[in-house]
Chains A and B, each alone.
Chain A
Amino acid sequence: DGGITQSPKYLFRKEGQNVTLSCEQNLNHDAMYWYRQDPGQGLRLIYYSQIVNDFQKGDIAEGYSVSREKKESFPLTVTSAQKNPTAFYLCAIWVAQGAEAFFGQGTRLTVV
């Protein structure tokens, strides 16, 4: 997994429910990111965090929330306020030394 783990791989949610996607890294990197991928639209930034207990909104933060209580963990909550949550969600770490964004395997969320 390259040191970054996303779970679960597939997730089904009923309309009106909140759901939390997990992202864990064991590489001791400071910066972590959440992206959403929809067909034909590339990847769009939801939230990012550069240090523990701090995070910033990305381009499409509405309907999402995050926390960064530990350096190794950056969970994403998809709230009921997100009107179209069905998508592929990718967590990434920023490897500063190599200047590379390294992605997790992703979570495919489907609203049923």
Chain B
Amino acid sequence: GENVEQHPSTLSVQEGDSAVIKCTYSDSASNYFPWYKQELGKRPQLIIDIRSNVGEKKDQRIAVTLNKTAKHFSLHITETQPEDSAVYFCAATTGAGGTSYGKLTFGQGTILTVHP
């Protein structure tokens, strides 16, 4: 089955700096890679995703890159703000893009702390 590794487990930055979180996956058939943000005691919420036919996607201060050959993808947050502080999870699945449903395999999570 799929295995997703996420690094680093904790990340501390100063407000305004950039933050990068990296994930690797094992199943070359995976074709959908979402990133979730989870605040303390709350549910994970999707912040950005990328499909295997795209190399990069950007949404305001957040961007995700995908390298299918190396089987890794990364989350980039620019101009970080204290409200970006949360746990971030990457995930992978083969279920997107058609009539098939998928099950997500998650990375272990990264605790991001943005200091004012």
* Binary flags per residue of A42-77, CB closer than 8 Å to B gives 1, else 0: 111100101000000011000000000000000000
Contact B43 A90 (CB under 8 A): yes
Which chain A residue has the least Cβ–Cβ distance from B6? A42
Number of interface residues of A (CB under 8 A): 25
A90–B95 Cα gap in the complex (Å)? 19
* Binary flags per residue of B66-108, CB closer than 8 Å to A gives 1, else 0: 0000000000000000000000010100011101011111111
Asked whether A21 is an interface residue with its Cβ less than 8 Å from the other chain, the reply is no
Which chain B residue has the least Cβ–Cβ distance from A58? B103
Nearest CB of A to B15, in Å: 26
State which size class the interface on B falls in: 20 to 34
- Enumerate chain B residues within 8 angstroms of A48, measured Cβ to Cβ: 103
Interface residue ranges of A78-112 to B (CB < 8 Å) = 90, 94, 96, 99-106
Task: Take A94-B95, A96-B101, A99-B96 as given contacts and tell me if A44 and B106 are in contact as well, using a CB distance cutoff of 8 Å.
Answer: yes
Nearest CB of A to B68, in Å: 17
Asked whether A15 is an interface residue with its Cβ less than 8 Å from the other chain, the reply is no
Contact A94 B102 (CB under 8 A): yes
Contact B34 A100 (CB under 8 A): yes
* Binary flags per residue of B46-59, CB closer than 8 Å to A gives 1, else 0: 10010100000000
Task: Take A100-B46, A101-B34 as given contacts and tell me if A45 and B103 are in contact as well, using a CB distance cutoff of 8 Å.
Answer: yes
Asked whether B116 is an interface residue with its Cβ less than 8 Å from the other chain, the reply is no
- CB within 8 A of B49: which of A30, A41, A99? A99
* Sample of 10 A–B contacts (CB below 8 Å): A33-B103, A50-B101, A58-B103, A90-B44, A94-B95, A94-B102, A99-B95, A100-B34, A101-B91, A103-B45
